[in-house]
């Protein structure tokens, strides 16, 4: 932290937030014991079939796909080179 550039600080803050975000998302994806009966995000009931298919599931299909979309966006920022091969 040499300081002197307020702009650098702001950018760093953004990077930190993004990294923290990614970590939180990664954590959310880790199966943790029992599947939830209700979505951790919206509180909707998660169908039994989904709970059995995805051990430790915490999100309903809607929230999961929303999250997947967000993650693809984040992955696009982080690995521009392989973005296309990752998506297709
Ligand atoms: Zn949900």
Q: How far apart are CA 44 and CA 61, in angstroms?
A: 10
User: Could you tell me the pLDDT band of residue 55, with boundaries at 50, 70 and 90?
Assistant: confident
Q: How many angstroms does the Cα of residue 37 sit away from the middle of ligand 1?
A: 11
Residue 24, pLDDT score: 78
Residue 62 has pLDDT above 60, yes or no: yes
User: Is 55:31 a contact under the CB 8 Å cutoff?
Assistant: yes
φ and ψ at 10, to 5 degrees? -65, -45
Q: How many angstroms does the Cα of residue 31 sit away from the middle of ligand 1?
A: 16
For the stretch 36-54, pLDDT in tens is 999 999 999 999 999 988 8
Q: How many angstroms does the Cα of residue 78 sit away from the middle of ligand 1?
A: 26
78: which residues sit within 8 A by CB, 6+ positions away? 22
Alpha-carbon dihedral 28, 30, 33, 39, rounded to 10 degrees? 30
Residue 18, pLDDT score: 86
Least confident of 24-28, 41-45, 50-54, 55-59: 24-28
State pTM to two decimals.
Answer: 0.48
Q: Structure tokens of 59?
A: 């999100």
Q: Structure tokens of 65?
A: 């796909």
User: Is 30:55 a contact under the CB 8 Å cutoff?
Assistant: no
Check residues 23 and 10 and name the one with the higher pLDDT. Answer: 10
């Amino acid at each position: 932290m040499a300081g002197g550039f307020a702009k650098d600080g702001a950018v760093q803050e953004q990077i930190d937030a993004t990294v923290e975000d990614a970590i939180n998302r990664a954590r959310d994806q880790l199966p943790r014991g029992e599947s939830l009966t209700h979505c951790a995000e919206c509180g909707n009931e998660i169908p039994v079939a989904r709970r059995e298919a995805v051990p430790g599931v915490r999100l309903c299909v809607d929230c999961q796909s929303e999250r997947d979309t967000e993650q693809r966006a984040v992955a696009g920022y982080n690995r521009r080179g392989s973005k296309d091969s990752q998506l297709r």
